Homo-oligomer: A and B are copies of this chain.
């Protein structure tokens, strides 16, 4: 049983991939350079893939997506935009998970995998439509219609809060210190962007010591 696991380098996708592995899948990890300012996360993705014993880890260069999104759309790729400290429309990268799942479907079909795992969790589902269960179900239907194959889209964290995900990551023995959440690409996590704040809060709520070094 093969599974394609989307791996961003953050804790959520690491836990989702660990679940895939623990279910007995041979895992094929997939990460994307889409021109994100925080592409430092790809180094973390490599460490996690290695830790999990992934059979392959594909890093797909889609950095020209940055041109598609252009200016003034998303602070995650536009270096001219202020990075907000709370959720704002500008932290949404339009249909990012849709694009990644579509590439994952092509990969899954090519290698004969029967599932794609991604790390959407409940806290994000509140703000990001492409982290919701309805989206995963709709995407699975589109993949079935477009390939004629029965490839499942699995989002095992969709009913958990991020703090639950952190607790589960610790329980599974994942090196969470090797994960990356910051939307900016510094040497250390900035500690101020929405994603760093969510990370800090999740460790605190989970009652787990936060191993992350923040610069702010």
Contacts and interface: CB of A to CB of B under 8 A. Distances in A.
A129 B148 contact: yes
A73 B97 CA distance: 25
A111 to B, nearest CB: 7
The interface residues of chain A, by DSSP majority, are classed as helix
Contact of A142 (B106, B142, B148): B142
B95 A109 contact: yes
Given A68-B107, A129-B146, A60 B58 contact: no
A103 interface: yes
Contacts of A110: 68-70, 73-74, 94
A1 interface: no
A130 B148 CA distance: 9
A145 to B, nearest CB: 4
17 contacts: A60-B67, A61-B64, A62-B62, A70-B110, A73-B110, A74-B110, A94-B106, A94-B109, A95-B146, A95-B147, A98-B143, A129-B146, A132-B145, A134-B145, A135-B145, A135-B146, A138-B142
